[in-house]
């Protein structure tokens, strides 16, 4: 791995090297994680303290009503946790008939939140510190307040303009009738109290106690389907991982209902090409990646759902080497092809990665989906609820068709890279449909082209939109953009600082005796260690 002083891309940051390392999208969350390591906790304790802090300091991407996924290396083996929630029991296809699709906001977009259950279950199985200790930084920031950071302030402003009429939103997130500005202090004592209850009861208050009662009562008040029984029925799954080898390394993802399989499929197709012969920022390498990603998204949009609902085409079918080789042969080296790809939906998410001196590594992600999620905030609790129900389809017979107590298709995915038997990298890249595409780009940049995590995160990105449409960051070299256009790609140039469409990567890569980390300049966060 190279560590260039003359970094090839515009950057505000250097790679961070340490024996213990935390990378998140918010400096206060990173510091919360480090504080647990200094108390004698492990990488999981650090990850959870950061994850618990993020709903307070980055509410634009997650909340107490989020879903979550985790991939964890415990020193001996890899574990995968699916803590995404299922739909209310009353969500039959008939309930949404004639509505022209699933609602994007409001109560009818809310499925069971899983993040709190992830915190409790991960801590019980792998944590070293008392559960209550993990909440101390978050409760402090919620009670005493924190300074709103620039990028979050802008996203908060945008979210407030569209969500202010949603139940409970303005009362909680718009003190004085507006979103707080960057540099202003925001306090949320209601969330502090909810965090205390969650900590004291190991999450029971959220699913079967006082908080569950408040959530369900607010739902009834607005004619929503969610009930106390739905919350009490929530369960996580230790689902393991699925993987795709590329050279000496293998990318691991959580199995469906998530989109991680799209990155694996694209990687499998690219293993059948000569992409290794090209430079990382060449038009030839980018063209191959874009075309493989388009093919992968086509299949994901068509076949991927809650794994129990994938009756005809299963995960193993989509990852079959012979099938991926046949898909790779559809890629035309000389021109872009208009495969009939669906247009993935936009979203907002937080991800983080940690590693400790004993070798434990964690990749963790949680999300409210589209920015503030549903826009619903339960009064007196600070609980903002996700809108994962929007991930269902109303198309009859589709494996992802809405139904009772069913998980919707999910965009959020943690990533992990393994060698033959040893861990290499815990990472993620938040940002709706950008996530699988970002995983592919980070995997290739670090493992094929040997870029350090910060350089890989700084590099200009591309994003498949639909058909021949591809968004490309304006920092990409003009001659490369021109060549991609000549191949038939319809290019939309976007600024990495203003579009928020290219996600935010957090990476922790194993090196001898420690780690090297990177944190995306497109977010407010940082990587730090000791």
Domain limits of the chain? 30-235+372-391
pLDDT tens column, 103-113: 999 999 999 99
The residue ranking higher by pLDDT, 8 or 345, is: 8
**For the residues of 319-377, what is the DSSP string, one character each?**
T-HHHHHHHHTT--TTS--------PPP-EEEEEEEE-TTS-EEEEEEEEESTTTT--E
Residues acting as catalytic residues? 349
150 and 169 Cβ atoms separated by less than 8 Å: no
Position 499 scores a pLDDT of 59
Phi, psi of 108, deg, nearest 5: -75, 10
pLDDT at 449 over 50: yes
Lowest mean pLDDT among 8-12, 221-225, 506-510: 8-12
Distance CA 248, CA 235 (A): 36
> For residue 118, is it left (φ>0), alpha (ψ between -120 and 50) or beta?
alpha
pTM: 0.95
For 253-275, what is each residue's pLDDT tens digit?
A: 999 999 999 999 999 999 999 99
Does residue 343 carry a pLDDT above 50?
no
Q: What angle is formed at CA 72 by the lines to CA 510 and CA 25, rounded to 5 degrees?
A: 70
Confidence of residue 341 (pLDDT cuts 50, 70, 90): very low
pLDDT at residue 6 greater than cutoff 80: no
**518 close to 505: Cβ distance less than 8 angstroms:** yes
pLDDT of 340 reads 61
Q: Is the pLDDT score of 432 beyond 90?
A: no
How sure is the predictor about 371, in pLDDT bands with cuts at 50, 70 and 90?
A: confident
pLDDT for the residue 345: 47
**pLDDT (tens digit per residue) in 302-330:** 999 999 899 889 999 999 999 999 999 99
Phi-psi region of 40 (alpha: psi -120 to 50; beta: other; left: phi over 0): left
Higher-confidence position of 7 and 430: 430
pLDDT of 35 reads: 98
Is residue 468 scored above 90 in pLDDT? yes
Q: Are strands 348-355 and 361-369 parallel, antiparallel or unpaired?
A: antiparallel
CA distance 319 to 306: 17
């Amino acid at each position: 791995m190279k560590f260039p002083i003359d970094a090839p891309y515009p950057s505000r940051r250097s790679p961070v090297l340490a024996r213990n390392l935390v990378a998140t999208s918010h400096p206060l969350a990173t510091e919360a994680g480090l504080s647990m390591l200094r108390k004698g906790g492990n990488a999981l304790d650090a990850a959870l303290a950061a994850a618990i802090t993020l709903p307070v300091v980055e509410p634009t991407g997650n909340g107490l009503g989020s879903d979550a996924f985790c991939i964890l290396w415990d020193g001996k083996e890899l574990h995968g946790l699916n803590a995404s929630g299922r739909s209310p029991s009353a969500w039959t296809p008939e309930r949404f008939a004639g509505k022209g699709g699933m609602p994007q906001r409001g109560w009818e977009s809310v499925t069971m939140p899983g993040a709190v259950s992830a915190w409790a279950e991960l801590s019980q199985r792998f944590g070293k510190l008392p559960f209550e200790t993990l909440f101390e930084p978050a409760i402090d920031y919620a009670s005493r307040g924190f300074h709103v950071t620039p990028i979050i302030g802008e996203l908060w402003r945008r979210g407030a303009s569209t969500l202010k009429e949603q139940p409970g939103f303005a009362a909680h997130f718009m003190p004085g009738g507006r979103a707080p500005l960057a540099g202003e202090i925001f306090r949320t004592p209601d969330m502090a109290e909810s965090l205390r209850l969650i900590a004291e009861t190991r999450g029971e208050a959220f699913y079967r106690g006082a908080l569950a009662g408040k959530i369900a009562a607010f739902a009834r008040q607005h004619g929503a389907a969610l009930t106390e029984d739905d919350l009490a029925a929530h369960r996580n799954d230790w689902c393991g991982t699925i993987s795709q080898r590329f050279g000496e390394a293998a990318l691991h993802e959580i199995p469906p209902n998530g989109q991680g399989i799209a990155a694996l499929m694209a990687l499998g197709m690219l293993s059948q090409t000569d992409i290794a012969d090209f430079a990382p920022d060449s038009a030839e390498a980018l063209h191959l990646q874009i075309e493989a990603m388009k093919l992968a998204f086509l299949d994901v949009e068509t076949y991927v759902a809650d794994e129990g609902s994938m009756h005809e085409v299963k995960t193993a079918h989509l990852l079959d080497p012979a099938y991926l080789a046949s898909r790779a042969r559809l890629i035309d080296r000389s021109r872009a092809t208009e495969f009939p790809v669906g247009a993935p939906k936009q979203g907002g998410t937080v991800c983080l990665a940690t590693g400790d001196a004993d070798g434990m590594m964690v990749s963790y992600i949680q999300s409210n989906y589209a920015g503030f999620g549903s826009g619903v905030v339960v009064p007196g609790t600070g609980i903002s609820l996700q809108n994962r129900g929007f991930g269902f389809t109303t198309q009859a017979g589709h494996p992802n068709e809405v139904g009772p107590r069913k998980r919707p298709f999910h965009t959020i995915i943690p990533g992990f890279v393994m060698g033959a038997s040893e861990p290499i990298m815990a990472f993620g890249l938040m940002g709706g449909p950008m996530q699988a595409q970002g995983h592919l780009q980070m995997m290739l940049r670090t493992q094929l082209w040997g870029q350090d995590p910060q350089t890989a995160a700084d590099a200009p990105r591309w994003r498949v939109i639909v058909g021949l449409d591809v968004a490309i960051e304006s920092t990409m070299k003009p001659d490369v953009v021109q060549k991609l256009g000549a191949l038939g790609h319809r290019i939309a140039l976007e600024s990495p600082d203003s579009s928020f469409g290219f996600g935010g990567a957090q990476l922790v890569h194993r090196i001898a005796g420690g780690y090297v980390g990177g944190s995306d300049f497109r977010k407010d966060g940082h990587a730090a260690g000791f």
